[in-house]
Amino acid sequence: MIVTDIEGTTSSISHVHDVLFPYSRARIPEWVRRPEAAAVVREVAADPDEAAAILIGWIDQDVKATPLKTLQGLIWAEGYASGELTAHVYDDVPPVLRRWSSDGVPVYVYSSGSELAQRLWFRHTQHGDLLGHFAGHFDTVSAGPKREVGSYQAIAKSIGADPAELTFLSDVAAELDAAEQAGWHTVGVSRPADGSPDVGRHRRITSFAELL
C-alpha cells in the first residue's frame, strides 16, 4: 500500500507557493468575516482582523497550522469551482496512479493540506480528475503532524495495515524519518524542479516513473 505526500512529491512546490498561497492570502481579510469560517477563525483569535493578520503571517512563513489549512481548503474550493484554479500534478504521476489502480494497489494521501483541499486538488488537475485513484485521505486533523511517529502509527491503524505493508512517499526527510520509525518503508522524492531536496538516507527517486 502506498501513502503519498502532495507538495514536492506528486506536485510542484512552486505551484503551491506561487499560485495557491497568494490566492488564499488575498481573500483571507474578507473570509474571516464569513459565517462558514467563524468556527475556524475563532480557533485563531477572537477578533477577525487579528485572526486575519495571524493567518497571513502563517502563510508567509509556510506554517502548516491546522486552522489555516482548514480555511485554505474552503477558500480554494471557490477557486476550483469558478475555474480560476487548476492543481498541478507532475506528468510522471498519472501513469503510475493508473498502473497502481489496475494492479489493485491501494493509494492514500497524507498531506498537511486539509482532506477537503486534497480531494479538490486531485479532482481538478491539469490531467483531469485523478481523485478516483485514491482509497482515502489523511491530514493533520485525522492523523496528526507529519513529522511525528504517532501520526504514521495512527494512519496504519486506521487503514488496518501492518506498518511493513506501507510505503510513504515524501520530499521531506523529517517526514520520512518519522514514517520509518513507525516501521514503514520510505521513498524520498527529490524533484529537480523543486530544487532536488535532500531526502537523507532514504531511497531517492526524481520521478514516479522509477516506481514502475
Binding site for ligand L4RZE5RM (CB under 6 A): 5-8, 16, 20, 64, 69, 72, 111-113, 117-118, 121, 146
What residues numbered 160-179 form the site for Mg ion, per CB under 5 A? 171
Grid cell, residue 105, equals: 494497489
- Which C-beta is closer to ligand L4RZE5RM: that of 32 or that of 65? 65
Task: Among 2, 3, 4, 5, indicate the residue that binds Mg ion (CB under 5 A).
Answer: 5
Partner that binds at residue 12, options ligand L4RZE5RM, Mg ion, none, CB closer than 5 to 8 Å by kind: none
Bridge partners of 73, per DSSP, are: none
Task: Provide, rounded to whole angstroms, the least separation between the CB of residue 142 and ligand L4RZE5RM.
Answer: 13
Long-range contacts of 189-196 (CB under 8 A, 24+ apart): 189/5, 189/8, 189/9, 191/8, 191/9, 191/12, 191/90, 193/12, 193/14, 193/90, 194/8, 194/12, 194/13, 194/14, 195/13
Instruction: Output the smallest distance, CB 104 to ligand L4RZE5RM, in A.
Output: 25
40 touches, from ligand L4RZE5RM, Mg ion, none (C-beta below 5 to 8 Å by class):
none
Q: Which residue is nearest to ligand L4RZE5RM (CB)?
A: 113
Beta-bridge mates of residue 125: 87, 128
Which listed residue (4, 7, 74, 90) binds Mg ion by CB under 5 A? Answer: 7
Q: Please, what is the minimum distance in Å from the beta carbon of residue 29 to Mg ion?
A: 28
- Give contact residues for Mg ion (rule: CB under 5 A): 5, 7-8, 171
